Amino acid sequence: MSEADARPTNFIRNIIDADLDSGKHDRVHTRFPPEPNGYLHIGHAKSICLNFGIAQDYQGQCNLRFDDTNPEKEDMEYVDSIKNDVEWLGFKWDGEICYSSDYFDQLYAYAVELINKGLAYVEELSPEEIREYRGTLTQPGKHSPFRDRSVEENLALFEKMRDGGFEEGKACLRAKIDMASPFMVMRDPVIYRVRFAHHHQTGDKWCIYPMYDFTHCISDALEGITHSLCTLEFQDNRRLYDWVLENITIACHPRQYEFSRLNLEYTVMSKRKLNQLVTDKLVSGWDDPRMPTISGLRRRGFTPASMREFCKRIGVTKQDNTIEMSSLESCIRDDLNENAPRAMAVLDPVKVVIENFADDAEILTLANHPNKPEMGSREVPFTREVYIEREDFREEGNKKYKRLVLGKEVRLRGAYVIKAERVEKDDAGNITTIFCTYDADTLGKNPADGRKVKGVIHWVSASQGVPAEIRLYDRLFTVPNPGAADDFVSVINPESLTVLNGFVEPALQAAEAERAFQFERMGYFCADNKDSSAERLVFNRTVGLRDTWAKIGE
């Protein structure tokens, strides 16, 4: 199969193929234009993979451009996080980073051009009156009393706006289009407003800022973008996109194409709602591992490859739909099953004393991956006292229970067969210690007399294991569509985070941040990229070994 045959296909790529075949374009130039007013989420990852992926596959270019026209809500923290997210996903923008603010002088000049053509006017209605005059979906709008001012008067008033002569909300610049248009976006939209706000790129040079719909199309044209890709909520805005470019003096006229946004179960994608989760401290921050942000998913242990594969699997269409969380989790499971080394960790420990084992530790060699010898092995100390999972022992068990039972045997992973002889309990009746014996002739082989031992459980040395905080993350909401709830906060999952204090094998003390491991029988985990250190290990559960939510729903 050729490289071209291996590429994903979708309606956007079909359009590009047709444009190149017809000679309409001889190159492909896309852009990714985030607003620096929050952290990117997985829906943005879809757009990143689409825009940068198309540029890669067609040997074209993709710009990273920050749509920084609203300085009140923007911050360099968001700029830096977005750059990191794009690079972490495995992409690199062409040339220097672009900002819409790079074009503020040209945008102002184009606004003046529209005024000179009688296609823009300074409005002095209040924001509330503007909304009232705009009409409704069933009623046309009304003309503003300021709509028919002369060109000279509008030029003077616009200059007054630029010079700080109007308070915020007292004047704006509107495009003069059609107050009876069936499309609300075409009813004399505001294209400039007054904002006395310090801008992270231009400082205090401007006190008027262009609106997104005016800025975006001109920025695309100035950068020579061939295919401007956005989500379906901007479908009606394409009319304004085209109107602006058709009515100013500019050589390039990009075309806008819309695709469906990503909706994912058990999450919210609204930046406003995500911001509320952060500001109300319902999560620990934008990078909380329960958040659908790229930085949150990264901290939880998702890999760039799994994110790109997810975006590839869901595809690009015009059909709105909601993707099951299991689809995303399947991608990371497939990746980590193949690539994550194995290790042992006990999350809810109970002590086992092997009474007939010597006091000195024995060093065992265990494979890092059962199917990949090239991944090597590690040394694991086996000692007289070990920890096992509390749920892996019962005083009495049935035939289905394949773990340790009083009076019966089980194998410790990579080690010996042990037999539970007796237990010790505290005053409340809780088991504190399980006393066992081991068969010294069962390392790597079955008992000599033919006894069959079916169960295998994991363990960690009690004396040489390393204490670790284990964070079990689950879905942040209890319902598939929390955005549809009257109060989305009311459906937050109270069990979305469980913190346990367990033990891990000594080799994990050197675990690098974000490095994934399969904790045998427990799931996939990674060292937290913010809180974990050699002095205090913190591991986040990325995903379980199988989809337990599917069983709950059955």
Task: Provide the annotated active-site residues.
Answer: 35, 261, 271
> Strand, helix or coil at 363?
strand
How far apart (Å, rounded) are the C-alpha atoms in residues 37 and 73?
A: 5
Of 79, 129, 69, whose CA–CA distance to 104 is shortest? 69
Residue 361's alpha-carbon distances to 386, 444, 462, in angstroms, are 11, 17, 11
How far apart (Å, rounded) are the C-alpha atoms in residues 63 and 382?
A: 55
Where does residue 221 rank: exposed (0-12), middle (13-18), buried (19+ CB within 10 A)? buried
Contact yes or no for 322/263 (Cβ under 8 A)? yes
Which residues partner with 419 through β-bridges? 409, 437
How far apart (Å, rounded) are the C-alpha atoms in residues 151 and 144?
A: 16
How far apart (Å, rounded) are the C-alpha atoms in residues 201 and 100?
A: 10
Which residues partner with 255 through β-bridges? 227
Residue 116's alpha-carbon distances to 110, 158, 164, in angstroms, are 10, 12, 21
H/E stretch holding 305 = helix 304-314
Q: How far is CA 139 from the centre of its chain?
A: 41
Contact yes or no for 504/464 (Cβ under 8 A)? no
What angle, 0 to 180 degrees and rounded to 10, lies between the N-to-C axes of helices 237-246 and 212-222? 60
365: its two tokens: 């060699």
Write out the DSSP string of 219-273. HHHHTT-SEEEEEGGGTTHHHHHHHHHHTS--S---EEEEEPPPEETT----HHH
Residue 306's alpha-carbon distances to 195, 310, 441, 465, in angstroms, are 42, 6, 43, 31
The letter for the amino acid at 366 is L
How far apart (Å, rounded) are the C-alpha atoms in residues 542 and 473?
A: 7
Where does residue 202 rank: exposed (0-12), middle (13-18), buried (19+ CB within 10 A)? middle
How far apart (Å, rounded) are the C-alpha atoms in residues 209 and 191?
A: 9
170: its two tokens: 């007292």
Residue 515's alpha-carbon distances to 284, 432, 473, 512, 525, in angstroms, are 21, 33, 17, 5, 8
The letter for the amino acid at 535 is E
Could you tell me which residues come within 8 angstroms of residue 156 by beta carbon, excluding any fewer than 6 positions away?
none
Contact yes or no for 256/241 (Cβ under 8 A)? yes
